[in-house]
Amino acid sequence: MSLYGMMQTGASGMNAQANRLSTVADNIANSSTTGYKKASTAFSSLILPSSAGAYNSGAVNTSVRYSISDAGPLEFTTSNTDLAIDGDGFFIVNDSGGRSFLTRAGSFVKDGDGNLVNAAGFTLMGYDYTGGPPAPVVNGFDGLVKVNVQSAGLTATPSTTGNFFANLDDGAAVVAPANLPSANAANAEYSHKSSLVVYDNVGAEVMLDFYYTKTADDNWEVAVYNRADATPGTSFPYGAAALATQNLVFDPALSGGLAAASPTSISLAVPGGAALTIDLAEMTQLNYEFTVDDADANGNAPSAVTDVEISADGTVYAKYANGDLKPLYQVALANVPSPDNLTPLPGNVYQQGIDSGVIITGFAGSGGFGNLIAGALEGSNVDLATELTDMIASQRSYTANSKVFQTGSDLLDVLVNLKR
């Protein structure tokens, strides 16, 4: 047995326990860090060649492992920009230099430029919704942009589509052609009238008057006028011709629904706005009073962004004062085949490691990725009770290894004193 080897083994043991205590200290210090993944120390023996009569003590080697794949507990908050991943996946974030990393720390807040930034200063990345629903680039970070919730200011959307579903009274009297609303005469007659609000290009309301007039059995004329052109008190004659007219034909054999050859919509140009198509496919003609079942049109008046909402699939919506939701971005997620082999970096972020596998990107709720939960954070997966237990055990082992070193030193003193 080599006394020097014995002392080196003791020193190796103390160094190994010091590494273990370091991971314990790091875990305890980050027990409240959002999305933190605990570190642990794995031990392996180093055996030196020995003979039957002389044993050479070896040493112990340590390696640090990270429990990145173990999810921490969910903690709910009052901020709807706090995000947690319920399942697999990582947020893709960028540092100030534009380099991309992965993280589970979703404590995002809006910075001065409107970007969503977490507590470590990393910016959340996603795909822009300007061109419609985006598609992820599965093998890279191309196409990702900063998720900015300040870019959507006042917005006004012109009306382009709508619907008007109503029942027309089968018992209504037939109106002579000269008196139809489409003739725009002062003596115009009509069977039913209703109105619909639409919006022009600058978000101003435009009131459209719809006139439904029976022209023959199972035949009805639809005439649409701009309320702004109406004669005060009487409406007719309007100051301008009808914006559009349409003839509907009903088939009693179809329970009063539109005949197969009948038009099912009416199209017109909104004054100061866009082309508008109103769906009439569910109009009916029954022996019952005029009843509007459903009438609506898209578009909205100017409205400011009041809040941000994020759905389970990662779509970031701007919520306007009028209640409308407009998709702005879709948050991208990433994953690797072996998350525990990712390389951890300062700021609670990770990058691809040698043994982690290739990074694959996608969206929450698809392709094996978990769902996003807004208003929640993933806590640290550190168990303080376990860490304190490991601390005591490591302290005892460190003390025992120091005794081995001290014993070897004492034996060397004995050996040196033999000369005296």
Same domain, 212 and 275: yes
* Residue 81 belongs to a domain: no
* Residue 52 belongs to a domain: yes
Strand partners, 219: 216, 249
Same domain, 234 and 200: yes
Along the 420 residues of the chain, how does pLDDT read in single tens digits?
Answer: 577 777 888 888 889 889 999 999 999 999 999 999 999 998 888 877 766 667 777 788 888 999 999 999 999 999 999 999 999 999 999 999 999 999 999 999 999 888 999 999 999 999 999 888 898 888 889 999 999 987 666 778 899 999 999 999 999 999 999 999 999 999 999 999 999 999 999 999 999 999 999 999 999 999 999 999 999 989 999 999 999 999 999 999 999 999 999 999 999 999 999 999 999 999 999 999 999 999 999 998 888 888 889 999 999 998 888 778 889 999 999 999 999 999 999 999 999 999 999 999 999 998 889 999 999 999 999 999 999 999 999 999 989 988 888 887 778 878 778 866
The pair of three-digit structure tokens given for residue 94, joined into one six-digit string: 């960028």
Question: CA 164, CA 293: separation in Å to the nearest integer?
Answer: 8
Nearest to 20 by CA among 59, 65, 69, 57: 65
What pLDDT was estimated at residue 1? 54
Same domain, 202 and 267: yes
* Residue 374 belongs to a domain: no
Same domain, 317 and 280: no
What pLDDT was estimated at residue 420? 64
Q: Which amino acid type is present at position 309?
A: E
* Residue 74 belongs to a domain: no
Same domain, 319 and 295: no
Same domain, 390 and 365: no
What pLDDT was estimated at residue 341? 94
What pLDDT was estimated at residue 32? 92
Question: CA 137, CA 89: separation in Å to the nearest integer?
Answer: 15
Peptide bond into 237 cis (omega under 30): yes
Same domain, 196 and 236: yes
What pLDDT was estimated at residue 157? 87
pTM of this prediction? 0.70
Nearest to 44 by CA among 16, 22, 24, 25: 16
Domain boundary among 302, 328, 358: 302
What residue numbers bound the domain in which 27 lies?
A: 3-67+381-417
* Residue 72 belongs to a domain: no
CATH number, domain of 282, equals 2.60.98.20
Same domain, 174 and 111: no
Residue 373 near residue 89 (C-beta atoms within 8 A): no
Nearest to 329 by CA among 192, 148, 205: 148
Question: CA 16, CA 29: separation in Å to the nearest integer?
Answer: 20
Total domains in the chain come to 3
